[in-house]
Amino acid sequence: MIRNQKFNVPDGYSEKQLFDQLAGQYAIKQAPRVAGKLTLYDTFDWRLFNKSLILYSSGNRLILRKLKKSDTLHNIEFSRMPVFYWDLADGDFKKRLAPIIKMRALLKLVEVQTRSKPYNILNPDEKTVARLLFEEIRPAQGRRKPVLARHLWLKPIRGYPKYERRLAKNLKEAGLKLGTEKEFFFNVLALADSKPESYSAKVNIQLDPSMRSDQATKLILRFLLKVMRKNEAVFEKDLDTEILHDFRVAIRRTRSALAQIKNVFPARTTDRFKKDFAYIGKRSNALRDLDVYLLNQESYKRRLPAVLRDDIDLLFAHLHQSRANAFQHVLRGLNSGKYKKIMKDWETFLNKPPPGSAAAANAELPIIELARQRISKRFRGIVKTGSKILANTEDELLHALRIECKKLRYLMEFFANLFPRKKINALIAQLKNLQDNLGDFNDLCVQQEYLLNIATELPGSQQQLKKTLVAIGSLVETLNREKQTVRDAFARTFTDFAAPANQELFKELFAAKTGN
């Protein structure tokens, strides 16, 4: 394995003296000085950083590396910076990036200026056998600007280990010390406007079990408000589909918290904001639907027989057009006085200190008790509904069960930190399996219906339209078959979820405890 070594060059170190010394021992060819930029990228929610990865571009190369190790994972040439993984050419890089960033856009975090002088060490055949690269990094352009870091890179070339060893020895003797990638990239990241982990849509709220329920609920709601605000702030830039998605999930969670963590606030307040957030959520329903169809464009195409694949394009062109309108509709909503007033009132309410006397029945109850109550009740409801579905096969009940599961999931996530982590995570994982099954079923139902509806409003010439309708018909048929498969898998998934061991675990964590 070839490892580049990076030496830190201290302030005031004479580069010239070093190279004069080396020139006595090696044939050195200086290559032209290169001024460039080093730009760091990550997704809005730091998906790469959270995996200890660093993605940066330097010149026309895009490099992915581990934050804490010195090896480069991928290094490719690019002509236009990819925004999504699907903008990359097929290859290992794309394969590695796809499951990590998924549908998220790569955003520029920070850019620094680099000036580097490469020196090729040549053997008697004038073959490059090692490289030295003297590099200066500045936060802004200009030779007089302060320097963020100075490095001397030793880049060995495979098959020439003697040169590598000798050069490393020379550099150490010249007083240079090895630096780490980690410290460098952290220095660069420190220049970015936002900090790693400054945003995550994942609910992670530290609650004290004995906390008053109204206060604890406000903590949860404040967290969700922060998520809304962060996404709302960049919505106009239309970075990727997940900005809206995270925004909507935060709204859904807020509504769910208001409805489910019962009797912690005055009924009038709860009712008002439940309505307000329902209104805000509804406004972006159409946009989210369109986003999902467009994201799945390729998978829809794959489901079609090859002869029909191009005929569906008309549908997607239409959806694309509709999306532009839907986006503007949401944007107008976010800029409206009504929206701003709701959010401001909400913020004021959340920041208000709790009233001295309880304004609602559960307000002063320790949060852990309320959490146990609510989760237990929800769980029992799911087991009951699910068992009914096992007995007869009504699709409506499946829909109802899906909603119940979602409510339980939100509750468990809000309160996750109150319970032993391993156990609650195991339960969440079980629940997720069931939710995936129900979610798939619901998606397929909705998609089928959507496709049948949209078929009536497609523009296009008669001939074109007929072909597109055939393609849509074929797609509906495929979805129907998939639906049946998912439906058949329900019984097993549910039985797993409602298994005695799982029920025991639920009881253990959430049954009312007396005496503590």
Partner 1 sequence: MTTLALYSNKGGVGKTAAAVNLSYLSARTGTKTLICDLDPQGSATYYFRVKPKLKSGPKGFARGAKGVYKSVKGTDFENLDILPADFSLRKLDVLYSKFGNSKVRLKKMLCPFASEYRLIILDCPVTIGILAENILNAADHTLVPMIPTTLSVRTYRQLLAFCKKKKYDATRIYPFFSMVDRHKKMHKELMLSVSKNFKGVLKSFVPYLAQVEKMGIYRAPVSVFAPRSMASKSYQNLWSKVQSHILNPQD
What's the closest the beta carbon of residue 124 comes to partner 1, in angstroms?
10
Strand pairing report for 27-30 and 107-122: antiparallel
What's the closest the beta carbon of residue 156 comes to partner 1, in angstroms?
8
The footprint of partner 1 on residues 81-140 (CB under 8 A) is 89-93, 125-128
Q: Which is nearer to partner 1, 80 or 144 (CB)?
A: 80
77 binds partner 1 (CB under 8 A): yes
**Total residues binding partner 1 (CB under 8 A):** 19
Tokens of 77: 């040439």
299-318 footprint of partner 1 as x/- string (CB under 8 A): -------x------------
SS3 120: strand
Assess contact for 483 and 448: CB atoms under 8 A: yes
What's the closest the beta carbon of residue 34 comes to partner 1, in angstroms?
14
2 binds partner 1 (CB under 8 A): yes
What's the closest the beta carbon of residue 22 comes to partner 1, in angstroms?
19
159 binds partner 1 (CB under 8 A): yes
Range in contact with partner 1 (rule: CB under 8 A) among 156-164, 187-195, 227-235, 364-372 = 156-164
What's the closest the beta carbon of residue 132 comes to partner 1, in angstroms?
15
158 binds partner 1 (CB under 8 A): yes
165 binds partner 1 (CB under 8 A): no
Assess contact for 413 and 220: CB atoms under 8 A: no
Assess contact for 123 and 101: CB atoms under 8 A: no
Assess contact for 511 and 375: CB atoms under 8 A: no
Tokens of 453: 């509806």
The span from the CA of 22 to the CA of 110, in Å, is 35
Q: Which is nearer to partner 1, 89 or 361 (CB)?
A: 89
Q: Which is nearer to partner 1, 59 or 381 (CB)?
A: 59
456-475 footprint of partner 1 as x/- string (CB under 8 A): --------------------
Neighbours of 490 (CB within 10 A): 20
Range in contact with partner 1 (rule: CB under 8 A) among 70-78, 248-256, 325-333, 501-509 = 70-78
The set of residues, in sequence order, having a beta carbon less than 8 Å from that of 301 and lying 6+ positions away, is 309, 312
160 binds partner 1 (CB under 8 A): yes
Range in contact with partner 1 (rule: CB under 8 A) among 158-166, 350-358, 455-463, 485-493 = 158-166
* Token pair 């397929």: residue: 444
Q: Which is nearer to partner 1, 96 or 102 (CB)?
A: 96
Range in contact with partner 1 (rule: CB under 8 A) among 154-162, 324-332, 376-384, 402-410 = 154-162
Q: How far is CA 160 from CA 23, 94, 122, 172, 445, in A?
A: 19, 31, 11, 19, 62
Q: Which is nearer to partner 1, 164 or 214 (CB)?
A: 164
The set of residues, in sequence order, having a beta carbon less than 8 Å from that of 143 and lying 6+ positions away, is 115
Burial class (CB in 10 A: 0-12, 13-18, 19+), 359: middle
Q: Which is nearer to partner 1, 128 or 194 (CB)?
A: 128
Per residue in 4-23, is it b (16+ CB within 10 Å) or e — as a string?
Answer: ebbbbbeeeeeeeebbeebe
Task: Note the residue count of the chain.
Answer: 516
Q: Which is nearer to partner 1, 31 or 403 (CB)?
A: 31
Q: Which is nearer to partner 1, 90 or 173 (CB)?
A: 90
Q: How far is CA 242 from CA 53, 195, 248, 295, in A?
A: 21, 19, 9, 11
Compute the half-sphere exposure of residue 177: CA atoms within 13 Å on the CB side of its CA. Answer: 4
Q: Which is nearer to partner 1, 121 or 287 (CB)?
A: 121
Q: Which is nearer to partner 1, 61 or 102 (CB)?
A: 61
What's the closest the beta carbon of residue 152 comes to partner 1, in angstroms?
19
Tokens of 338: 């009504």
What's the closest the beta carbon of residue 93 comes to partner 1, in angstroms?
6
- SS3 assignment for 181-208: HHHHHHHHHCCCCCCCCCCCCCCCCCCC
Range in contact with partner 1 (rule: CB under 8 A) among 71-79, 104-112, 405-413, 480-488 = 71-79
R_g over Cα of the chain: 29
Tokens of 55: 């993605």
Tokens of 187: 């220095």
Q: Which is nearer to partner 1, 153 or 339 (CB)?
A: 153
SS3 159: coil
What's the closest the beta carbon of residue 160 comes to partner 1, in angstroms?
7
What's the closest the beta carbon of residue 443 comes to partner 1, in angstroms?
27
Among 22, 34, 73, 76, binds partner 1 (CB under 8 A): 76
Q: Which is nearer to partner 1, 24 or 159 (CB)?
A: 159
Q: Interface residues with partner 1 (CB under 8 A)?
A: 2, 74-77, 89-93, 125-128, 157-160, 306
